[in-house]
A and B are shown apart, each in its own frame.
Chain A
Amino acid sequence: MSKRRTERLLSIVVLLLSTRRYLTAEEIRAAVYGYPEQYDAFKRMFERDKEELRELGIPLETGLNNALDEEPGYRISRQDYELPEIRLEPDEAAVLGIASRVWQSAELAGAAAGALLKLKAAGLPDDEDDGVRRPRIEPRLTTQEPAFGPLWEAVRDRRPVTFNYKAQGRTDATRRELEPWGVVNSKGRWYVAGHDRARNATRVFRLSRIDGPVKMAGPTGSVTVPPDADVRELVKDWDVTPVRDHTAVLRVREKAGFGLRRWAREVTPDAASPGWDRVTVSFADVPWYADYLAWFGPDVIVIEPPDLREAVINRLKGVLT
């Protein structure tokens, strides 16, 4: 059955690409093998075929040949159908090969492979052993979060979605209704940004915290992305890097604390305690930096400021309670 269906769909594509006139459903039935005689069964089948062709990206046009026609017809404009002429230099083709292997997730890996095949069908050589030196670089994008697929479709088709979300530090999920504006990968983690309908505000969600399925909550094209929305910036703001406007003086054991020395403003041997260096660093906020310094254990002592010193001592005491 599937083979006959493929044949029928291919016949329709060839037929509608070869006609300038709009052909009615009845004319298509007359020209193509495989449609049933019975009218309602034909209509149902024809509707499904049209939908399938459109899903493949085939630009099926609908229109009337003249004002007196009662029933609309169909045709495919060659200009809209055909991939425009594209010629690649050898180094560009090499980069294309790399780009087509970046996605590791089912949704977009298949799409990238499909794109590559179309470009090869447009004449791009598929011989990878043509003497061109290929940069040995392999970028990888993975989408392990099940929410990625439906959210990408929603963003692409501009549809609102609903999902359950567990905010950080919460064990219970809440229902969210979102007009998604875009998906962003930052430090290997996926986020979606958009307009949260219930809260009537811009929100960013981390895909790994979405609990259960993502459901479409409206038709294609029903989401308007504000022209000034920059999802990249939204995620950046959310994952903000603070300004390091505080100064601390540390005593750091020799041959230790490289992470501190690397970004230090000054490192000098500590005359008062042999085997130790005085390291001056900049930091952003006391609680975060105290946690970071505790990581170095007995290789680092805070000399000043007093509040940072106190915070590190408390962190370490916490280990022993």
Chain B
Amino acid sequence: MVTSAERLRRLLALVPYVVSRKAVGLTETAAAFGMSERELIDDLNLVWCVELRAPEPYCPIDLSYEGGEITVSQAESIARPLRLAADEASALLVALRMLAEVPADGSAVARLIAKIEAAAGASAAASAQVSIQMVDGPNARGVAAKISEALAAGRRVHLRHYNTQKDVVTERDVDPMRLLVVEGRTYLEGWCRRAEGVRLFRLDRVLDLAILDTPASVPDTAEPKDVDAGLFRPSEADEIVELELAPAARWVAEYYPCESVTELGEGRLRVVLRTPDTTWVRRLALRLGEDARVTSPAALAESVRAAAAAALALYS
């Protein structure tokens, strides 16, 4: 149920929307406003019924939607949309300024920022109070430019990619699907021919990338990843890992997505993680030294100790 204020906001956009198009279909308009045709007709009736009674009674707005086509023959003073509110201008400008830092075609972004700022006037001021810092490394721009080119031309790419968690470099052919910018970093999402699946590659970890002559061919079954709930989404098939952390290692609970975090007193924590591959947990445990213990699974705890012993043996 929309509030009367939200509905008024919608009506004040609806009238100029129709006016600026001279005539427009009910279906099309309902889609643009994200509502049903029934709701749209209720809105149109409401606008049409508006009546002022002084000094002379009159109806300021006249419209029709006969035959499924809306026309406004008289819109009085609300033929133009209301100015952008501070929230609206800021939502767009903050997003655009972030887009400006993303390695892609920047000229349209810069022109659009200038136009929105000019149109928003004073409403644009608050947007300066929000800023988004991109943390792509210096080489990501060049890689992103090549990917944009491959996307535009519909071509396959060949890349060398460094996986930090496993400490390996792999070479793959990838059919690019899109560039994703999540949590301040840019990723290539594409159909990986080697894995035969949709994969994300963080651009600052792409060591080399070449555009191939082969046309990209993304299978129809390839589903883009839903990254809105976070990049790393645990699956039921993942292994469950339990760690105990000393106060100095509490950052782990904030840095990695945890299933649960329990205070153990004196600043110690127990965290439970889910992961498809425990290699990185072993590395993390080595890095944390005495500040962390893998308490489960036992085999992982044992492999951490074995790795530490093997590393120490190299020094003796």
Q: What residues on B are CB-neighbors of A15 within 8 Å?
A: 52
Whether A84 sits at the interface, judged by CB under 8 Å, is yes
Nearest A-chain residue to B93, judged by Cβ: A99
CA distance A99 to B9 in the complex (A): 21
Q: What residues on A are CB-neighbors of B307 within 8 Å?
A: 297-298
Whether B300 sits at the interface, judged by CB under 8 Å, is no
B22 CB → nearest A CB, Å? 11
| Binary CB contact string for chain A from 130 to 151 against chain B (1 if under 8 A, 0 otherwise) | 0001011111111010000000
Whether A56 sits at the interface, judged by CB under 8 Å, is yes
CA distance A219 to B183 in the complex (A): 33
> Could you say which of A6, A168, A321 contacts B250, with CB atoms under 8 Å apart?
A168
Contact B130 A121 (CB under 8 A): no
A67 CB → nearest B CB, Å? 24
| Binary CB contact string for chain B from 257 to 287 against chain A (1 if under 8 A, 0 otherwise) | 0000001000100000000000000111111
- 125-176 of chain A: CB within 8 A of chain B: 126, 133, 135-142, 144, 152, 155-156, 168-171
Whether B310 sits at the interface, judged by CB under 8 Å, is yes
Contact A11 B133 (CB under 8 A): no
Q: What residues on B are CB-neighbors of A197 within 8 Å?
A: none
Whether A307 sits at the interface, judged by CB under 8 Å, is no
Whether A232 sits at the interface, judged by CB under 8 Å, is yes
- 226-268 of chain A: CB within 8 A of chain B: 231-232, 235-236, 256-259, 262
B123 CB → nearest A CB, Å? 8
Q: What residues on A are CB-neighbors of B227 within 8 Å?
A: 140
* Consensus secondary structure, chain A interface: helix
Whether B36 sits at the interface, judged by CB under 8 Å, is no
Contact B135 A117 (CB under 8 A): no
Closest 10 CB pairs of A and B: A188-B183, A318-B290, A318-B289, A17-B77, A139-B181, A115-B88, A102-B95, A57-B85, A319-B308, A111-B87
Residues of B within 8 A of A (CB): 1, 3-5, 7-17, 20-21, 28, 32-34, 46-47, 49-55, 60-61, 76-78, 80-92, 94-96, 98-99, 102, 104-105, 107-109, 111-112, 115-116, 118-119, 121, 123, 126, 128-133, 135, 148, 151-152, 162, 164, 167-169, 176-185, 207, 227-228, 230, 247-248, 250-251, 254, 263, 267, 282-291, 304-305, 307-315
